[in-house]
């Protein structure tokens, strides 16, 4: 794929060609024109950053000294305007994408919060007994153990003494019998 050269690349190629075909070295040109050698090297490499007034002045000096036909200042300004336009487009794209960051962050925070609550409730329900039993008159005997209250999950439980049973759905049942068998199982 052939890439189109930008204006500053064309400008640097013109300068390279003219400097290489001249009878002067880069150091000699630097001394004769009063332009820093490092700055001249940057220009030859396509780097025209720096204060516009200095770059335009340097390019005018180089055009006159090397007898260059092309308008170097015009090429420089064209490249600069394209660079500024590209930067503005980049900043517009950046602004466009930044306006969505806060809603995305809020959505993520809300999602994490709701997930945490859901997980907490799930674990609470998972660990909760299906039935809680409490003695009506002090103590009861639950599978031959004397207790005031107990937690019942699936299974069979032999109970002696009146008690109050509370299901996981908060329904309460009072049993006044002295001895009975409680069977807890899942059903449809």
Q: What are the pLDDT digits (tens) for 160-186?
A: 999 999 988 889 898 888 888 998 887
* Angle subtended by helix axes 7-21 and 52-66, to nearest 10: 40
CB atoms within 10 A of CB 135: 19
CA distances from 11 to 15, 16, 68, 143, 166 (A): 6, 9, 11, 97, 88
Query: What is the pTM (predicted TM-score) of this model?
Result: 0.44
Q: What is the pLDDT of residues 115-148, one digit of tens each?
A: 999 999 988 877 778 888 999 888 898 998 999 9
Counting beta carbons within 10 angstroms of the beta carbon of residue 162, is it exposed (0 to 12), middle (13 to 18) or buried (19 or more)? middle
Q: Strand order of the sheet with strand 145-147?
A: 145-147, 140-142, 155-160, 179-184
- What superfamily in CATH does domain 7-98 come from? lambda repressor-like DNA-binding domains (1.10.260.40)
What is the domain partition of the chain in residue ranges? 7-98, 131-184
């Amino acid at each position: 794929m052939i890439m189109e050269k930008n204006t500053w690349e064309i400008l640097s190629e013109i300068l390279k060609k003219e400097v290489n075909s001249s009878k002067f070295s880069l150091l000699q040109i630097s001394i004769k024109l009063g332009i820093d050698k490092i700055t001249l090297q940057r220009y030859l490499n396509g780097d025209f950053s720096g204060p516009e007034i200095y770059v335009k002045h340097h390019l005018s000096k180089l055009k006159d000294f090397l007898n260059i036909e092309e308008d170097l200042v015009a090429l420089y300004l064209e490249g600069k305007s394209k660079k500024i336009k590209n930067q503005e487009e980049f900043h517009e794209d950046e602004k466009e994408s930044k306006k969505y960051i806060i809603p995305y962050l809020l959505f993520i925070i809300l999602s994490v919060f709701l997930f945490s609550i859901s997980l907490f409730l799930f674990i609470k329900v998972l660990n909760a007994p299906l039935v809680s039993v409490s003695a009506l008159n002090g103590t009861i005997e639950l599978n031959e153990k004397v207790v005031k209250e107990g937690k019942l999950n699936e299974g069979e439980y032999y109970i002696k003494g009146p008690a109050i049973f509370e299901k996981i759905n908060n329904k309460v049942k009072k049993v006044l019998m002295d001895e009975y068998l409680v069977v807890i199982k899942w059903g449809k």
